[in-house]
Amino acid sequence: MTNIDVKSRLQFLPVTFFAVVMGLSGLAIAWHHAEAVFQVDIPISNGPLFLAVVTFLALLVLYGLKLLRFRDAVRAELGHPIQLNFFPAVSISFILLGIAFLSREPGLARVLWGLGASLHLLLTLYVMSVWIHHEHFEIQHINPAWFIPVVGNVLVPIAGVPLGYPEISWFFFSVGMVFWLLLFAIILYRVLFHQPLAERLMPTFFILIAPPAVGFLAYSQLTGALDPFARVLYYIGLFLTLLLLTQASRFFSIKYYLSWWAYSFPLAAISIATLVMYQKTGLAAFAAIAWALLSLVSLVVVYLLYRTAQAVFARSICVPSH
């Protein structure tokens, strides 16, 4: 590969690549929770966590170089009605890694969580400002990826409460839950009454699972209760999971895009939520569902790593979009 080719590919490095970190971190957190709940002796979670850290550091360096060398390309992504919503995946990656290291390295977790929460607040304010003052957004631009800024807010309490920041956690939870409900109605309207999503955006339907599943986990940390609201959040997430899994053949028949990584984190989130339901109820049915979901998300992530590696070697990623 020539030096010019390297520079060209760097220019087209998409911010959506940070969704890989979200998927790997989610899988690591899910397995770490399962190891504790089911007393698994093998630290399976170390593998995806290591990959998540390495991938995150590599992407930070590469995207930092892109910012230095190709600022116009970064500005174009920031102004894009779809790519814009993936920038909070950077701050979400910090938050998720903070959650993953919470029981391993509490000091490191606090730093990662603090950086992630602060950056996510700034990105949420920026994204919502763009939404409000836009001049070129149309209804077809709206898709479930618009949930990404929202999901990051709801993640904050999962580590924020154990780290001793309950009021900050309530702040982020409130913002995330209110705007989740508003966006859910808008996106449902768009899907039902307008043109279908473009093929490359179809995997983002799985992002619908994340807000209620993560909301359940955050609410459980904030209140410690399994009350009616907690149950509603969990069962909405479980229903959306079932709805989308019944259409699995449709999703896996489309061409591979980086957006396929949208399958991973939401499945990890509902897996963790089911593990918590099992802990709180002791019902064997939740243990069975948790194992099934954990197995599924593990297979999905392994397959996504394989397909992503194929795409990288085939140089079909980091190319101009059509």
Judged by average pLDDT, the poorest of 4-13, 45-54, 245-254 is 4-13
**Max mean pLDDT range (7-21, 63-77, 178-192, 294-308):** 294-308
Residue 2, pLDDT > 70, answer: no
Q: Convert the pLDDT of each residue in 240-269 to its tens digit.
A: 999 999 998 888 888 888 889 999 999 999
End-to-end CA distance of the chain, in Å?
Answer: 23
* Token reading at 180: 């989740």
Classify residue 99 as exposed, middle or buried by CB count within 10 Å of its CB (0-12, 13-18, 19+): buried
Pinpoint the alpha helices (H) of 142-263: 148-160, 166-193, 210-223, 228-245, 248-252
Judged by average pLDDT, the poorest of 48-57, 138-147, 153-162, 195-204 is 138-147
* Token reading at 70: 């190709």
Q: What is the pLDDT of residue 1?
A: 42
Q: What is the pLDDT of residue 303?
A: 96
What average pLDDT does this structure show over 121-144?
85
Q: Convert the pLDDT of each residue in 204-242 to its tens digit.
A: 999 999 999 999 999 999 999 999 999 999 999 999 999
d(CA 158, CA 151): 12
d(CA 184, CA 187): 5
Q: Which has more pLDDT, 11 or 28? A: 28
Domain 3-313 = CATH 1.10.3720.10 = no
